[in-house]
Copies of this chain bind each other. A is one copy, B any other.
Amino acid sequence: MSTRNREIHLAARPQGWPTADNFRLVETEVPTPGPGQIVVRNRYVSVDPYMRGRMNDVRSYVPPFALDAPLDGGAVGEVVASEAEGLQPGDTVLHGLGWREYALLDARAARKVDPDLAPVSAYLSVLGMTGLTAYAGLLDVAGMKAGETVFVSAAAGAVGSLVGQIAKLRGAAHVVGSAGSAAKVERLRALGFDAAFDYHDGPVRDSLKAAAPDGVDVYFDNVGGDHLEAAISAMKVHGRAAICGMIAQYNDTEPPAAPRNLALVIGKRLTLRGFLVGDHGHLRDEFVREMAGWLRDGRVSYDETVVDGIENAPEAFLGLLRGENLGKMLVRV
């Protein structure tokens, strides 16, 4: 095997929108495993919106990325060297050390997956954290019930597109998605959304009102800002919002003013609940079983936008923040 490893370091913390200058491609040697460790040749690494927050030097639910050190995140690849029981070269594993070609990690931090059950990239998207985020947020956090109306923002993204499809499969009466281009809106219709709009076409509040004239029971928020404000206005009595992300403001240097209509939560008895998928691991088995069935039956589709080469991971991440992806944004190593 090659002895050269390449990885992406955080060269500088972005102020506002990140740029290529915030990243650095670094060449190292492929590491050698110690006792209990494995070395994984990554095949796909994930870039996700939440990573933007980790680039700031602030305490959050996960520690910030360190400067002049490799970034990390979800990855899937093959074991190429092992000093651990239970994992052999050739095994495919899911782990948390992305943004690099070769990863050295404790075997306990890797989860073996079946490459014959699904394309290995699916373990980073529809069958992985992405899918569980959609499933847990919609059904557990927001408690969606059959017959309800659901609105999801960033609906052509990895999580959003699954939220809408799971909602329909679980009996939602009306599912609305917002996205950032006409092509994405068209894709949402093909995925079975009952209504979809391009948020550039006018105030979100007006577009949502037209798409869900009778109001919204459940809002799955990936965007924040004007989307959340519009959803609060549109929500019916006892509506629930699962707050998954606020990508609209991740690059803001000033705190956002919205939502300005938060007082509506009282009269409409709304619940806004933030969540992280890590709190919902108890649903993983149920989720995998149900999702695998839907995939087998062709009832769920998922999109991937794949960028080749670890050297292009920063550009993939920047493209994600600009909304250039359809579905899951991945880097093929």
Contact = CB atoms under 8 A, between A and B. Distances in A.
A260 B268 contact: no
Top 9 A-B residue pairs of the complex, sorted by shortest distance between their CB atoms:
A265-B274, A255-B260, A61-B267, A257-B257, A266-B274, A271-B273, A272-B272, A246-B263, A60-B267
A250 B138 CA distance: 33
Contacts of A287: none
Interface string A243-285: 1111001000001110111111111111111111001000000
Nearest to A264: B274
Interface in A210-245: 224, 228, 237, 243-245
Contact of A267 (B224, B228, B276): B276
Nearest to A267: B61
A1 B314 CA distance: 84
Contacts of A270: 273-274
Number of copies: 2
Nearest to A246: B263
Nearest to A259: B262
A263 B249 contact: yes
Contacts of A268: 61, 274
A271 B241 CA distance: 10
A245 B271 CA distance: 14
Contacts of A275: 266, 269
Given A264-B274, A266-B275, 8 more contacts: A61-B268, A245-B266, A246-B262, A268-B274, A270-B273, A270-B274, A271-B272, A272-B273
A331 to B, nearest CB: 24
Contacts of A260: 255-257
A246 B261 contact: no
Interface string A159-185: 000000000000000000000000000
A243 B256 contact: no
Contacts of A267: 53, 60-61, 274, 276
9 contacts: A61-B266, A61-B268, A224-B262, A228-B262, A256-B260, A257-B257, A259-B262, A264-B274, A269-B273
A23 B248 CA distance: 45
Nearest to A266: B274
Contact of A274 (B53, B257, B269): B269
Contact of A266 (B243, B265, B266, B271): B243
Nearest to A271: B273
A260 B246 CA distance: 12
A280 to B, nearest CB: 10
A268 B266 CA distance: 22
A244 B266 CA distance: 6
A246 to B, nearest CB: 5
Interface string A181-200: 00000000000000000000
